[in-house]
Amino acid sequence: MSRYRGPRLRVVRRLGELPGLTRKKPRRQYPPGQHGQARKKRSEYAIRLEEKQKLRFNYGITEKQLVRYVRQARRATGSTGESLLQLLEMRLDNTVFRLGMAGTIPGARQLINHGHITVNGKVVDIASYQCRPGDVIAVKNKESSRKLVEANMQYPGLANLPSHLEFDKSTLVGKVNGKVEREWVPLQINELLVVEYYSRKV
């Protein structure tokens, strides 16, 4: 399944708040569609599917990519669910978003794809690049790149900078000091249900 490019608020109405997908708030709080307001009991499968979809849409990844991350998380030590969230949070597009250089993850991905972001002094245009502790993430030393990021910073995505990151607004340089901790993941999700969803599929 390809990356979603449809109406974002429609997804937010169905799945709940997705801070990485959009800053906008839906006017209607019930799911979209003819039967959106009709409450019905959801199956165990539907609940797990919804949690999985939250991850997919918030981080803007394809089903194939998410399966790959689940497999990586299973090989890591510790909780599979937490390892999965760490892998997604340490993606370059999400890190640029969390540093406040872009208002949403799709906005951060566009900055990266267009070559405006450097990692350790080199331009990296791969949004899925896995950031590691010690990586220095900066804006390319070019006036157009700086202006673009400065304009984005007028409307920051999330108010608080996570504990594993630091950012100098005057130089537009950020640093990854460690791995993200579970309490700093802004998405309201039960990652164990995602792991359970894939337990028979992967």
Report the CATH number that the domain containing residue 56 is assigned in CATH. Answer: 1.10.1050.10
Report the amino acid identity of residue 191.
E
Report the CATH number that the domain containing residue 139 is assigned in CATH. Answer: 3.10.290.10
The answer to the question of residue 34 being in a domain is yes
The tens digit of pLDDT for each residue in 8-66 reads 667 777 777 777 667 666 565 655 554 455 566 778 888 898 889 889 888 989 999 99
Ranges in the chain, pLDDT < 50: 1, 34-35
Q: With residue 165 as reference, give the H or E element that holds it.
A: strand 165-168
pTM of model > 0.75: yes
Structure tokens at 21: 């997908």
Cβ pair 40, 2 in contact under 8 A: no
Q: What local confidence, expressed as pLDDT, does residue 202 receive?
A: 61
Q: Count structural domains, the chain.
A: 2
* One domain for residues 96 and 61: no
The answer to the question of residue 2 being in a domain is no
* One domain for residues 20 and 60: yes
Give me the domain span that covers residue 53. 8-83+186-198
Phi, psi at residue 194, to the nearest 5°?
Answer: -70, -45
Closest of 156, 167, 51 to residue 107, by C-alpha: 156
The answer to the question of residue 3 being in a domain is no
The answer to the question of residue 68 being in a domain is yes
Can you tell me the distance from the alpha carbon of 188 to that of 200, in angstroms, rounded to the nearest whole number? 24
The answer to the question of residue 14 being in a domain is yes
* One domain for residues 96 and 173: yes
**What are the distances in angstroms from CA 11 to CA 8, 31, 107, 136?**
5, 8, 17, 33
DSSP state of 188: -
- Sheet containing strand 173-176, strands side by side: 122-123, 117-119, 136-139, 173-176, 165-168
The answer to the question of residue 102 being in a domain is yes
* One domain for residues 171 and 100: yes
* One domain for residues 97 and 167: yes
